[in-house]
Every structure is written in C-alpha cells, then in structure tokens.
C-alpha cells in the first residue's frame, strides 16, 4: 500500500485543525511512546508546534525497560527539551505532571489577565492521550481503546480549576520512514493492514533476542528453542494451536497473536529503540 493512498483524509483534516487550535493554547504536551521515542515522534507535529512551549511525555513508561527509559529521558533533557516519564500505571508520574501544570497555571496568572491555562495533548494514534486525560480528570471523559484511531474529533475538558485540556486525534506523518513501520506496528500505532504482520513479528522477535529476553517468550509460549525468528514464530503458532485446515501452521494468526500479546503487556517490558550514546 502506498503511503499517499494510505494517509487518511481525516488525519490530514485533523492536522489542519490542530494548526488553528495551537493559536489558542499556552502549552503543547506531546506524548511519545517510551519504547520507541524516535519512531513515535511525528516530525509534522514537531514542525507545527515549534514556536509553542512544549512538554514531551515519554508515555507507557511501564512498558519500557527502566534503565533505557532513564537514558532516553536524559537524552531529551540534554538536548534542552522539557521531558518526563509518564504512565497511568505509575501514579507518581501523573502526579508530577499535575504539579507541573499547577506551576504553569500560577505563572500564567502572574503574567497575564485571568484566564485558564490551556494545553493540548498531541501524539500519534494509540499512544495513550485519551487514557491520560481520563486519568487526570478521574472519569471517562474521552473514549479510549487498544486500537489506533479511537479519538475522531477534538474535545476540550476542564482538568482542574483554571486548567483546560484539548484532546486530539492521533496523527501520523503522511510519509513514514521505512524504519518506523515495524516499531509503530509493534506498539499498535498503525492499523494491521498497513504492514506485513509476519515481518513485523519477525522484527519484534529479533528485538527480544537482541535484548536477551527470549526467556520471557519461553515462559509464555513454552517449548521454544532459541532460533531464527521465522522458526520461533512457527513454534508460537504450534504452541497456540494456530493451524490451517490440513494442519499447516497459520503464521498470519501466530503473528497477530504475538503482536497482540506484546501490545497487551503479556510479554514483559521491552524497549524497541535505544538512545544514541551520549
């Protein structure tokens, strides 16, 4: 599928809309996935929000490896960017985000006339924007889901007294770099039809191998020999009874199952991209 044909019209419209909304906001909160901070950053979002005050949240930090998360955080901060780790599974991270917002509100009050602090939450699909919003307001204000493209329109929500937040639909760049396709598939930011699921599964299996974490797969699927990704995928298929009529292994189903297990957090924490050595 060609990128130009794939890039949905709704996303192009949402990007245009966001450009207008940016004029109304004091702060842009960009959510990226802590496991893949390069691929999950949309350069288009960076470009259109470059004149705004920004906070980068390395979100779903609970799914990334602790030590690598810290290295990524250091990497962003070293480059002069405001950044923090974030996860709805780690309340301390959400609390420090709230404290940050309260400080921002006080500063705004001090410097300008009385109006609420307005922030917008942006990022690629499925990175956790609406879930974070719901967690912050303590109710299901926005629809969430484990698929990309859940939020369709924009939505303002009052977060605290004097702080308003705009939830936005996930945005991907119109042209994805080839290196980003598999990480984005692994974290569930791309619809399955966008990439070859078996190749994506091979790529992810390779990451488990590289990070020395094959034992996690052994525990989940049993009886795996450490071997080439294609063979491991076939073994996963066998162990999970993914069979086609006639008894051949249904590799497509095995790949979907394995990717879903990674996305669902059933395979421990695994970072997909490493920060450059500083």
Ligand X SMILES: Nc1nc2c(ncn2[C@@H]2O[C@H](COP(=O)(O)OP(=O)(O)OP(=O)(O)O)[C@@H](O)[C@H]2O)c(=O)[nH]1
CB-based closest residue to ligand X: 170
Select from Mg ion, ligand X, none the partner in contact with residue 22, using the beta carbon and a kind-dependent cut-off of 5 to 8 Å: none
Q: d(Cα 125, Cα 99) in Å, to the nearest integer? A: 26
Stretch that binds ligand X, among 95-103, 128-136, 218-226, 266-274 (CB under 6 A): 128-136
Select from ligand X, Mg ion, none the partner in contact with residue 64, using the beta carbon and a kind-dependent cut-off of 5 to 8 Å: none
Q: d(Cα 241, Cα 186) in Å, to the nearest integer? A: 22
Q: Which residue has the tokens 């619809």?
A: 191
Q: For residues 43 and 145, which CB has a smaller minimum distance to ligand X in the complex?
A: 145
Q: Is 41 among the residues that bind ligand X (CB under 6 A)?
A: no
Residues 164-203: x where in contact with ligand X by CB under 6 A, - otherwise, as a string:
-----xx---------------------------------
Q: For residues 56 and 127, which CB has a smaller minimum distance to ligand X in the complex?
A: 127
Q: For residues 88 and 218, which CB has a smaller minimum distance to ligand X in the complex?
A: 88
The DSSP-derived string for 40-91 is: TS-HHHHHHTTTSEEEEEEE-GGGS-HHHHHHHHHHHHHTT--EEE--TT-H
Q: Are 132 and 61 in contact (CB under 8 A)?
A: no
Q: Is 128 among the residues that bind ligand X (CB under 6 A)?
A: yes
Select from ligand X, Mg ion, none the partner in contact with residue 49, using the beta carbon and a kind-dependent cut-off of 5 to 8 Å: none
% helix / strand / coil in the chain, to the nearest 5?
45, 15, 40
Q: Is 127 among the residues that bind ligand X (CB under 6 A)?
A: yes
Residues 19-38: x where in contact with ligand X by CB under 6 A, - otherwise, as a string:
--------------------
Q: d(Cα 210, Cα 193) in Å, to the nearest integer? A: 27
Element (H, E) at 33: strand 27-33
Q: Are 89 and 63 in contact (CB under 8 A)?
A: no
Q: For residues 123 and 229, which CB has a smaller minimum distance to ligand X in the complex?
A: 123
Q: How many CA atoms lie within 13 A of 126 on its CB side?
A: 19
Q: Is 62 among the residues that bind ligand X (CB under 6 A)?
A: yes
The residues near 243 (Cβ < 8 Å, ≥ 6 apart) are 237, 249, 250
Q: How far is the CB of 223 from ligand X (least distance, A)?
A: 28
Token pair of 215 as six digits: 């034992």
Stretch that binds ligand X, among 17-25, 73-81, 129-137, 238-246 (CB under 6 A): 129-137
Q: For residues 149 and 162, which CB has a smaller minimum distance to ligand X in the complex?
A: 149
Q: Are 15 and 171 in contact (CB under 8 A)?
A: yes
Q: Is 49 among the residues that bind ligand X (CB under 6 A)?
A: no
Q: For residues 40 and 235, which CB has a smaller minimum distance to Mg ion in the complex?
A: 40
Q: For residues 151 and 185, which CB has a smaller minimum distance to Mg ion in the complex?
A: 151
Q: d(Cα 45, Cα 11) in Å, to the nearest integer? A: 12
Binding site residues, ligand X, CB under 6 A: 59-60, 62-63, 87-89, 123, 125-131, 144-146, 148-151, 169-170, 265
């Amino acid at each position: 599928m060609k990128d130009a044909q794939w890039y949905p019209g709704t996303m192009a419209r949402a990007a245009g809309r966001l450009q207008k909304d940016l004029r109304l906001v004091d702060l842009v909160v960009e959510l990226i996935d802590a496991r893949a901070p390069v691929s999950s950053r949309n350069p288009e979002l960076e470009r259109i929000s470059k004149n705004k005050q920004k906070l980068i949240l390395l979100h779903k930090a609970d799914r990334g490896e602790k030590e690598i998360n810290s290295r990524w955080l250091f990497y962003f901060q070293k480059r002069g960017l405001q950044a923090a780790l974030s996860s709805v599974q780690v309340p301390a991270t959400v609390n420090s985000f709230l404290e940050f917002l309260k400080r921002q509100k006080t500063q705004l009050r001090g410097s300008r006339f009385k109006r609420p602090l307005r922030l917008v939450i942006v990022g690629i699909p499925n990175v956790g924007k609406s879930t974070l919003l719901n967690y912050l307001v303590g109710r299901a204000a926005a629809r969430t889901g484990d698929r990309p493209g859940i939020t369709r329109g924009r939505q303002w929500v009052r977060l605290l007294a004097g702080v308003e937040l705009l939830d936005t639909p996930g945005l991907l760049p119109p042209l994805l770099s080839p290196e980003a396709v598999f990480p984005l598939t692994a974290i569930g930011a791309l619809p399955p039809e966008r990439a070859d699921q078996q190749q994506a599964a091979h790529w992810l299996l390779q990451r488990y191998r590289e990070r020395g974490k094959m034992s996690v797969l052994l525990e989940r699927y049993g009886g795996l020999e450490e071997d080439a990704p294609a063979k491991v995928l076939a073994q996963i298929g066998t162990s999970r009874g993914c069979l086609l009529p006639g008894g051949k292994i249904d590799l497509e189903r095995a790949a979907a199952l394995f990717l879903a297990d990674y996305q669902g957090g059933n395979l421990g924490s695994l970072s997909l991209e490493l920060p450059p050595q500083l």
